[in-house]
């Protein structure tokens, strides 16, 4: 990334942390979105540190995401900062939707230094209403374990397409579905669960997966 560019970041480093998750935000909301803040708090309680950070467009409050090369460079800078601030901790990368996809694209182009796996909190496989797999083609070049946490009602990731993707990726891919959840991990009232309960459950899954690879 251009050395003249600076973006915000926030480290949550609990005592006894066993790993650090470099957590990128989604396309439409930054690192302090309630979901991101809650994720950092819950993961801290599960001994997983997080480094949240902004992409440059979000830092300047623009609506249009930066070009992929800028996002990839930002991911690399965040991973490098996490290694500096949490030395010795195993690193994992990924994040919400767009942020997870930018992290995996960066990894596909050249390995992210020290990163042991990628965790996707709702991988955006395709635009809503336009099923396809073009956005996932780069994952064939990712030679790391990947955890896909997805809602069964996610309009940006049809389950059949995700199942087919996981089959192609083989042992590198772990799929974990949240019943009745949409792309934002919102569940309807008739599900019998609250969004907060769903969020806690999916982050426990993420922490267990990270812990097993730490």
Mean pLDDT throughout 85-108?
98
Give the model's confidence band at 55: pLDDT under 50 very low, under 70 low, under 90 confident, else very high.
Answer: very high
- pLDDT tens string 31-45: 999 999 999 999 999
2 pLDDT band (50/70/90 cuts)?
low
- Are 57 and 82 a contacting pair, CB within 8 Å? no
Q: Which CATH number fits domain 9-212: 1.10.1060.10, 3.30.70.380, 3.40.50.1820, 3.30.460.40?
A: 3.40.50.1820
Whole-number pLDDT of residue 73: 96
Output b/e per residue, 99-112; b: 16+ Cβ within 10 A. Answer: bbbbbbbbbbeeeb
Predicted pLDDT of residue 117: 98
* Alpha-carbon gap, residue 178 to 35, rounded angstroms: 16
Check pLDDT > 80 for residue 24.
yes
Give the HSE-up count for residue 155: Cα atoms under 13 Å, Cβ half-sphere.
6
pTM: 0.95
Which of these, 123, 120, 124, 58, lies nearest to 95 by C-alpha position? 120
Mean pLDDT of 105-114: 97
Domain ranges of the chain: 9-212
User: Percentage of the chain surpassing pLDDT 90?
Assistant: 96
């Amino acid at each position: 990334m251009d050395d003249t560019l600076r973006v915000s970041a926030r480290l949550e480093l609990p005592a006894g942390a066993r790993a650090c998750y470099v957590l990128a935000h989604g396309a439409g909301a930054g690192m302090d979105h309630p979901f991101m803040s809650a994720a950092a708090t819950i993961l801290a309680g599960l001994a997983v540190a997080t480094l949240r950070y902004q992409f440059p467009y979000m830092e300047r409050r623009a609506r249009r995401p930066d070009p992929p090369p800028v996002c990839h460079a930002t991911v690399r800078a965040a991973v490098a900062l996490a290694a500096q601030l949490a030395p010795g901790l195993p690193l994992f990368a990924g994040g919400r939707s767009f942020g997870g996809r930018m992290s995996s694209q960066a990894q596909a182009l050249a390995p992210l230094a020290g990163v042991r796996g990628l965790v996707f909190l709702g991988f955006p496989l395709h635009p809503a209403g336009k099923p396809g797999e073009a956005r996932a083609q780069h994952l064939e070049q990712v030679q790391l374990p990947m955890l896909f946490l997805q809602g069964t009602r996610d309009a940006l990731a049809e389950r059949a397409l995700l199942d087919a993707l996981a089959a192609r990726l083989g042992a590198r891919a772990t799929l974990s579905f949240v019943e009745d959840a949409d792309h934002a991990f919102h569940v309807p009232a008739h599900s019998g669960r609250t969004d907060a309960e769903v969020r806690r459950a999916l982050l426990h899954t993420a922490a267990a997966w990270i812990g097993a690879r730490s």
